[in-house]
Amino acid sequence: MLNVARMRDSLNLEFSRIGRVLSSPKRIEIIELLRQCPKSVETLADNTGMSLANTSQHLQVLRGAGMVEAQRQGTYMIYQLTSPLVHELVSMVRQVAETHLADVDRAIAKIREGAAELENVDRMKLVQLAKEGKVIVLDVRPSDEYEAGHLPYAVSIPLAKLEKELSSLPHEQQIVAYCRGPYCLLAGEAVRILRKKGFQASNIRDGVGEWKALGLPVETGAPEEQDMKQTR
């Protein structure tokens, strides 16, 4: 006769493995980064500020749980999420935490306090304004993420290079920055830098993933390729 209790416990033990994987903030960060595009260990280490050894350790834990996979490209191992479900799970965890944990709610409120965030954005109107050159949509993620997918007519200036590239931006135009989605802080920091230098700047919570989920257009390619598209 089957031992139902033992089988149930065994099954729940397997489910709990996923919870243990997500108990690390750095592994959650890696999942968010890999949602943007596949990345090497070296790139992930640079993006997260961890050592190569620590980054590799976290990737092995994620790989052991079936949440990421790797392929060799030349001398590099390139990692990617095994399924969109992996990020959907992280997104649900974040939503539950924001809804039910007061500390999370307070932290997010503090981050967004005084932020120049555009709410209830008419996304297609924003695309049209960017197409007409009336608004600059600024992607402040690393360039590899921009190339993998970006909002239509977006300009790429990674946050790390923004202060050096300010001279390329016109003061008379409204700038709308975005990054990796509602829990990403890069766009808010970009807006603070821009406003301090006298630019008209605001940010939106959307990232590429949110646009894809809504069935909105997303473009790919390096900045130079994108410029060529726009001038055709």
Per-residue pLDDT of 56-104, as tens digits, reads 999 999 999 999 999 999 999 999 999 999 999 999 999 999 889 888 8
Question: Is 37 marked active-site?
Answer: no
Catalytic residue among 179, 184, 194, 208: 179
Pinpoint the residues of the chain covered by CATH 3.40.250.10. 116-231
CA–CA separation, 57 and 27 (whole Å): 10
**Amino acid sitting at position 173:** Q
Q: Which CATH superfamily is domain 116-231 in?
A: Rhodanese-like domain (3.40.250.10)
Residue 54 pLDDT more than 60?
yes
Per-residue model confidence (pLDDT) at position 2 = 66
What is the second-level CATH architecture of the domain 4-88? Orthogonal Bundle (1.10)
pTM of the model: 0.87
Q: Which two tokens stand for residue 210?
A: 């949110």
Per-residue pLDDT of 179-224, as tens digits, reads 999 889 899 999 999 999 999 999 999 999 999 999 999 999 987 6
CA–CA separation, 55 and 41 (whole Å): 7
Per-residue model confidence (pLDDT) at position 18 = 93
Residue 228 pLDDT more than 50?
no
- DSSP characters over the chain: ---HHHHHHHHHHHHHHHHHHTT-HHHHHHHHHHHH--EEHHHHHHHHT--HHHHHHHHHHHHHTTSEEEEEETTEEEEEES-HHHHHHHHHHHHHHHHH-HHHHHHHHHHHTT--B--S--HHHHHHHHHTTSEEEEE-S-HHHHHH-B-TTPEE--GGGTGGGGGGS-TTSEEEEEESSTT--HHHHHHHHHHHTT-EEEEEEEEHHHHHHTT---B-S-HHHHHHHHH-
Pinpoint the residues of the chain covered by CATH 1.10.10.10. 4-88
